[in-house]
Amino acid sequence: MAQTDRDILFSNEAFVIGMLQAVSGGALVAALAQSEALIKLSGNIAFLLFLTVMAVSLLVAVLAAYWKHQYKLWDVKAQASAAQNAQTRSVKANRYLKVMRTAFVVSLLGVLFGVGELVVVFWFRALCVV
């Protein structure tokens, strides 16, 4: 892969990590700030489930940032190594890259599930009251 393409992917990955951290962390803080209203609208269990899912999503996004760092570290070491060491270091870099990209999906699914869960509970409680 050309170095320019690699740099573009690296900056895109940084953007995705930042976005996932901002959305999940922002949702967590906003939910805590509006806890009374959310509990009234959704109930205790749904509120706690939302908080838990957002916290897990935030933790996974933070881990993705760490794995991104490890990926770049081993990738740079592989490029600067002799042929035998380069292969081993390249395998480590690819492992961190795969785990980081999996973390993107897990964090995204957590955000989608958390928001979706609240919306479904809001509708369910609104329809059951009528």
Instruction: Give pLDDT, residue 130.
Output: 57
Nearest partner of 17 among 101, 75, 92, judged by Cα: 101
| Residue range of the domain that includes 90 | 3-129
Instruction: Give pLDDT, residue 85.
Output: 74
Low-confidence residues in the chain, pLDDT < 50:
none
Tally the domains of the chain.
Answer: 1
Residue 38 and residue 46: Cα distance in Å, rounded? Answer: 9
Residue 24 and residue 4: Cα distance in Å, rounded? Answer: 30
Neighbours of 106 (CB within 10 A): 16
Specify whether the CB–CB gap between 71 and 97 falls below 8 A.
yes
R_g of the chain, CA atoms, integer Å: 20
